[in-house]
Structure 1
């Protein structure tokens, strides 16, 4: 072990202290051995260092910091260099705020568009998620600040997230849900955060097989950290390979760990290995830095936030209405112009240093402008004359704040009722209307095909207003591309029957057919496909060639694609490379993304791009051999501007060509729960909870008991009292919904000592009718 000398000098108590947090955000220091503490903070799109009381929902106050576009938008840039810059600048700001370890990036797959936390994640595609995260990590680590990749793994919904059991077959797990983490860990981040959920019956933080894969197969040497309040059994998690439990669980587990080592149910080596990884983290990143909230780089940060927004916004529709011209008589409509949606809610929610507003900037772009301050005037029909006189209308719509927040999932893809009614009233004028969407996840656009233009502005961060106006008025040529599929209906998504709900067992019956992988294979028409995005110029895909037509395992293929800008404006194009197996005997998607590059092309010029495709890009996971294999036969390499686009195709062979094509009926059979059970042998479900109640039960279960209902009422009222935003009706709903899904053990460790785990045990005893032992434990603060 790297720190064996130090470990040998630690007392048993000091070892246990090191593997649990000092408080909500810090590791435990051992001053006598000069072991420092490191400070952590959330930070996928901005540093959230809290001022006083820590929480994991963004409820309490934090120091102001730069609010960058959310990952759901920045991912649409498809720009790894830009993500490196984002990581680097986040690290610079982290150092100013005394933060050693930034909890990000979040790279969970967008399995379903109703996921309440989708705005924090890059894509439905594992390659895009992994590559962008890898660049982000390299940027942050280059400044001596650590990145903590999260949430490992299959944490794809907020409903019942603490207790849910994701049922995932081995192939799907490897091809879809583990792959982004494997790619991201190539950047050697300082830490990896395990998720709340179970996977196939076992909590991820205590899953020795999964953690062994990360350590031995992937070679990850960093620190494995629990999500906040995730650990249900510290002894089991230590045995499984988890290093650091966050936040502090006090002294609750000290005697349990000591007794487990004595009884040989836990090896002392497991404890020492965890201590070794924690020491590696704190010596690499520590000591804790002083707080310097203003470092003099604010304008530099703001400029980067603008660039990311301008490179990421997606032009979804344009019937010649865009770009707008300054002399045109323009009407602005939308309450979100006054209070724009810039970010999602929860642990990533930050206080921005400054915010640009469209209403403050638009006079620099438009010379004849009318702003309709109240949407209700349109609904009441009070502004028909103004609507008729306007040459162009900019309509800004989006989701409510409570629709995109940690702790709850959405229940519909529809925009709010008031906004849908607004579109209905504007129906005669939609041809001259540009719809701007301020959303961090997929929505169904009413009257979509009738709008003159549609721009996805996303959750655009503090500098997004200028980026939006620059795109609307043509100063910037839009170049964003969708990283997730916009379908026409909720029921079109294959995971819809299995998503959310109140049951703990969640079958991933759709398997590998996530997002575009399903829609291309079914096939099924969508509103906007994965990888899609328009430009103000025109790109023409001209040629594709490869350096060989036959491949063997271990050889690489060089593919060269030439793309011309035949329009009148310089523009950036994301050239996407897809792979299709011809006549496959293995059930697989019609095609999958295997590479991408973003390139700036001047008008009249041609760009030639080289792609280096390793042979393992052709591989699929075989559950029989528990490894990747390459099916022999003919393949097509397809270059295009989105997943439906196939202007260029290059054929290549692996060995002999295969024979029969798969039965198209097999896709539907594959995606049934029975199909999942067949692939897994059996479904490792967890039984429905029954009495006696335990610390691991959520209030959704505990409320079945009258004492549980009383306890929930007390805790909910206390949470609302402490929340600085509890007067907002939507925040009250989010707090209630989150508390319902939270186990009592998690509430205890997140209470900053207000409720110890021993006292929580006492409450459980009371609920179970064990009044004597319950009262005794409640009196015990240890």
Structure 2
């Protein structure tokens, strides 16, 4: 990255952190005492609606104090607070638990654990008086350099939907409204306010909407729209996405909230779009609404419908009856930190382990050299999801100093000093932590593909002196590895793990924990191998202040331009597996310190059209470990184009040494269907299908035709 670009990004991050400065926690431990007339109407949302004046109704459709939804004191309707999101609660002067990033959650492939994470965050919401959490995010990693890929679940819609569903169920079990986001096709941060995602119907239905649909089916009470237009219409006022699909086909009756400053009209947004404008009144300001009401372009029925959506979500979450701040709920506890650490340990992906370098075998007089920028900080993605911890977390370098081995910390340009060159040459192993952080990777802009030239140079310097090099990558997705990876015997992808970073990594480095994460995205050998980058911008990693702020929420400033999704369905492994392109690491890849065998595949076609699949998985190695069994479906001789294979189910299991377990799946019609643009519905393919079970998309162990 050029120095000016880096300088500019640092300024942007400082401003973001200042703008999102933590506020004092709420203190209201009383529940709402609604003052409503005793009428025959049984619906609480309708009773509240009937008690409101027109002025009061109009005042409830936009936020206040940046993150608050106003109330009406006259009838006892209290304000409801929202909070960023997903990895923990950002923006409060309280010790909260910061969890690994959403992409790391996806890498765990552990839906039960993610449900526990959601429940834990839900309890912390109750402790702080938060009623609505602004997450989780499920947008697909269309390009590997998307600035918010770390906030999402990777490149596969089934995985993203499954992880989001588990998170939502856990969160909402605590009475907290989730808002699955960003609906829809917010797949890049480059000029997100003026970039029109041009997507064909089949691609939209098969890649970019399924995770949202699965979240709604899981019971999500809220949804957040995205900044960008889709096929020429801003998502905050999209009659097709919101009216026809979300409200119509999916039957969603909950809250639709705008992303911050993402409305571009009053009339269209009222008639076709969001229920609530955040962070404050602009297009939904009472005067603007009155003007449209007087002109007859909107009606009070439109306003009432939005309020019913808001109140219905409140009612489902129990916000009318429970204390706003729950004095019995806890936040930032050791028990919560253990959940975060468990997730961090399960998320790390062991990409490479030549000669079984890992785990490192401790011995008397062992010497480790530790270098790389991310060894000396706890890296995180930037923007609205970044947790500002009150207590500084222990970084990897500090943690390794406590491992009862001799640790040499390598300074910048260490190779210029003979004593450091000698220590690197003679030590038992070098641990080098690199990748990205909140400066490089953040909302508002996309990131670079390759590591910095300085750190690539440093990797080569280490490799020329010592064969036992362990490289740890941090980032929200794929990044370039081909130029340096031959010099590293072991490579870990650690995403962004929050305050648990150093402990989880130390546990894996020394074998106290067996890595079990799997890549939720592919890692390509070349950036150009992604078909999606053909219609991507050339200066994707360059900062433009006008792109970041100019025209946000203002249709008169700057013009909308098109980003065509010309790759259609060929995103991630759907591309690489279909075209048999060699990759650095395939989707679903992740090594272990043990080994697993797959056998005894059985497939039974049932009369109701479902297909029952079972197999036996055995731990054939020398230590306990976890394996994620992945089931892909391939259609033989399809009448329309189909990707080579698609993930349809997965299951993560824990196995002791020598232990075997039966893993079972039940496939419904959905697993064999594609979207038909003529009939405008999903239909089962006419060809035969091969079921493929394996440890990654390229490590298929068992196959059977049905």
* TM-score, scaled to structure 2: 0.86
> Deviation string for 1:400-430 (max 9, x for gaps)?
43211110111x3110121011012123245
| Contact preservation (8 Å) 2:367, 2:408 | no
The separation in 2 between residues aligned to 1:272 and 1:204, in whole angstroms, is 21
2:653 is the counterpart of 1:599? yes
The answer to which of 392-401 and 464-473 deviates more is 392-401
1:309 match: 344
The separation in 2 between residues aligned to 1:252 and 1:177, in whole angstroms, is 28
The separation in 2 between residues aligned to 1:364 and 1:158, in whole angstroms, is 40
2:575 is the counterpart of 1:544? no
Aligned to 1:633, the other structure's residue is in SS state coil
Q: For 1:140-219, list aligned pairs within 5 A.
A: 140-212=171-243, 213-219=245-251
2:667 match: 613
Deviation at 1:190, TM superposition (A): 2.2
The answer to which of 77-86 and 209-218 deviates more is 209-218
1:522 match: 579
1:408 match: 445
Correspondence for 1:265 among 293, 297, 315: 297
The answer to which of 560-569 and 427-436 deviates more is 427-436
Q: Sort the Cα spacing of 1:102 and 1:285 in 2 relative to 1 into closer, same or farther, 3 A.
A: farther
Q: Sort the Cα spacing of 1:467 and 1:400 in 2 relative to 1 into closer, same or farther, 3 A.
A: closer
1:761 match: none
Q: Sort the Cα spacing of 1:613 and 1:430 in 2 relative to 1 into closer, same or farther, 3 A.
A: farther
Correspondence for 2:488 among 426, 451, 455: 451
Q: Sort the Cα spacing of 1:585 and 1:429 in 2 relative to 1 into closer, same or farther, 3 A.
A: farther
The separation in 1 between residues aligned to 2:284 and 2:532, in whole angstroms, is 40
Deviation at 1:481, TM superposition (A): 0.3
Q: For 1:693-772, list aligned pairs within 5 A.
A: none
Aligned residues: 635
Deviation at 1:650, TM superposition (A): 1.3
The separation in 1 between residues aligned to 2:328 and 2:452, in whole angstroms, is 38
Correspondence for 1:442 among 478, 493, 498: 478
The separation in 1 between residues aligned to 2:598 and 2:314, in whole angstroms, is 50
RMSD between aligned residues: 2.1
1:557 match: 611
> Deviation string for 1:246-305 (max 9, x for gaps)?
111169742442343344322322111001112223444536834989946521121111
Aligned to 1:568, the other structure's residue is in SS state coil
2:71 match: 29
Aligned to 2:567, the other structure's residue is in SS state coil
The separation in 2 between residues aligned to 1:221 and 1:402, in whole angstroms, is 39
The answer to which of 253-262 and 520-529 deviates more is 253-262
- Name stretches of at least 5 consecutive residues in structure 1 with no aligned partner: 51-61, 653-782
The separation in 1 between residues aligned to 2:90 and 2:377, in whole angstroms, is 21
> Deviation string for 1:634-664 (max 9, x for gaps)?
1100000000112100111xxxxxxxxxxxx
| Contact preservation (8 Å) 2:222, 2:255 | yes
Q: Sort the Cα spacing of 1:409 and 1:326 in 2 relative to 1 into closer, same or farther, 3 A.
A: same
| Contact preservation (8 Å) 2:456, 2:484 | no
1:659 match: none
Deviation at 1:229, TM superposition (A): 0.7
* TM-score, scaled to structure 1: 0.78
- Name stretches of at least 5 consecutive residues in structure 2 with no aligned partner: 1-42, 541-546, 548-559
The separation in 1 between residues aligned to 2:650 and 2:228, in whole angstroms, is 32
> Deviation string for 1:700-756 (max 9, x for gaps)?
xxxxxxxxxxxxxxxxxxxxxxxxxxxxxxxxxxxxxxxxxxxxxxxxxxxxxxxxx
The separation in 2 between residues aligned to 1:400 and 1:10, in whole angstroms, is 48
Q: Sort the Cα spacing of 1:141 and 1:579 in 2 relative to 1 into closer, same or farther, 3 A.
A: same
Correspondence for 1:329 among 367, 376, 384: 367
| Contact preservation (8 Å) 1:97, 1:293 | no
Q: Sort the Cα spacing of 1:196 and 1:293 in 2 relative to 1 into closer, same or farther, 3 A.
A: farther
1:4 match: 46
The separation in 2 between residues aligned to 1:292 and 1:153, in whole angstroms, is 37
The separation in 2 between residues aligned to 1:5 and 1:291, in whole angstroms, is 26
Aligned to 1:559, the other structure's residue is in SS state strand
Q: Sort the Cα spacing of 1:300 and 1:254 in 2 relative to 1 into closer, same or farther, 3 A.
A: same
The separation in 2 between residues aligned to 1:630 and 1:130, in whole angstroms, is 21
Deviation at 1:49, TM superposition (A): 3.0
| Contact preservation (8 Å) 1:400, 1:416 | no
Aligned to 1:527, the other structure's residue is in SS state strand
The separation in 1 between residues aligned to 2:186 and 2:433, in whole angstroms, is 32
The separation in 2 between residues aligned to 1:252 and 1:108, in whole angstroms, is 27
2:620 is the counterpart of 1:576? no
2:563 match: 506
> Deviation string for 1:26-70 (max 9, x for gaps)?
1121111222210000011010135xxxxxxxxxxx544221111
The answer to which of 27-36 and 594-603 deviates more is 27-36
| Contact preservation (8 Å) 1:499, 1:506 | yes
Aligned to 1:383, the other structure's residue is in SS state helix
1:356 match: 394
1:277 match: 309
Deviation at 1:322, TM superposition (A): 1.0
Deviation at 1:463, TM superposition (A): 1.4
> Deviation string for 1:84-106 (max 9, x for gaps)?
11111111111222211111111
| Contact preservation (8 Å) 2:162, 2:211 | yes
| Contact preservation (8 Å) 2:429, 2:468 | yes
The separation in 1 between residues aligned to 2:44 and 2:251, in whole angstroms, is 16
